[in-house]
């Protein structure tokens, strides 16, 4: 793996969506190494356990154009602490709407306060994914709606299995 420009793409990824993958593809063209950092704890109660999320993300990453540039691992605690241990000073965050920007802007400023040389790079997904979120996917799944255009096939199967009655 390259020792060049590294970035972390953090998130819960519960589940990873085609919107996440769009951001990941873009990040892989801009950076030499992308670490998908899957949040192990936090305020959210995920439908998939941490090992399941890591397995699904890894399956999907292996189908991408640059799988060797992408690592998947779990992390807990502050993102800046994790990044410092990894020797990474940049994080990727996806922005879909103005409401995302307000939250992400606050997080970027807090992260920079915690670690002065920490930078956040915002990427916008393709317009067909602007409305897409894991929360919305979970809600559509709960109501047994069609998720085919929102999720990669491996993830689609896993989500459907979770919500079968």
* pTM of structure: 0.92
Using CA of residue 152, residue 158, residue 163, residue 164, what is the dihedral sign? positive
**Residue 1: pLDDT band with limits 50, 70, 90:** very low
For residue range 15-70, what is the model confidence (pLDDT) as tens digits? 999 999 999 999 999 999 999 999 997 777 899 999 999 999 999 999 988 888 99
Spell out the domains of the chain, with CATH numbers in brackets.
6-130 (3.40.50.620)
Question: Active-site positions?
Answer: 20, 44, 96, 134
Element (H, E) at 72: strand 70-75
Query: What pLDDT score was predicted for residue 77?
Result: 93
Sign of the Cα torsion 149, 164, 16, 100 reads: positive
Residue-wise pLDDT tens digits, 88-102: 999 999 998 877 888
What pLDDT shows up at residue 67? 81
Report d(CA 80, CA 69) in Å as an integer: 21
Question: For the chain, what percent of residues have pLDDT higher than 70?
Answer: 97
Mean of the per-residue pLDDT values of the chain: 92
Can you give the pLDDT at residue 61? 94
């Amino acid at each position: 793996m390259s020792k060049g420009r590294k970035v972390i793409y953090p998130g819960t990824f519960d589940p990873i969506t085609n919107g996440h993958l769009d951001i990941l593809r873009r990040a892989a063209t801009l950076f030499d190494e992308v670490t998908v950092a899957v949040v192990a704890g936090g305020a959210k109660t995920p439908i998939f356990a941490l090992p399941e999320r890591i397995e699904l993300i890894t399956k999907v990453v292996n189908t991408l154009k640059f799988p060797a540039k992408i690592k998947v691992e779990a992390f807990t605690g502050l993102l800046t602490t994790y990044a410092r241990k990894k020797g990474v000073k940049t994080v990727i965050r996806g922005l879909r709407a103005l409401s995302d920007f307000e939250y992400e802007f606050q997080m970027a400023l807090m992260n920079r306060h915690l670690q002065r040389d920490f930078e956040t790079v915002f990427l916008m997904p393709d317009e067909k994914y602007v409305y897409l979120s894991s929360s919305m996917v979970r809600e559509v799944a709960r109501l047994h709606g069609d998720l085919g255009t929102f999720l990669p096939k491996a993830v689609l199967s896993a989500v459907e299995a979770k919500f079968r009655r």
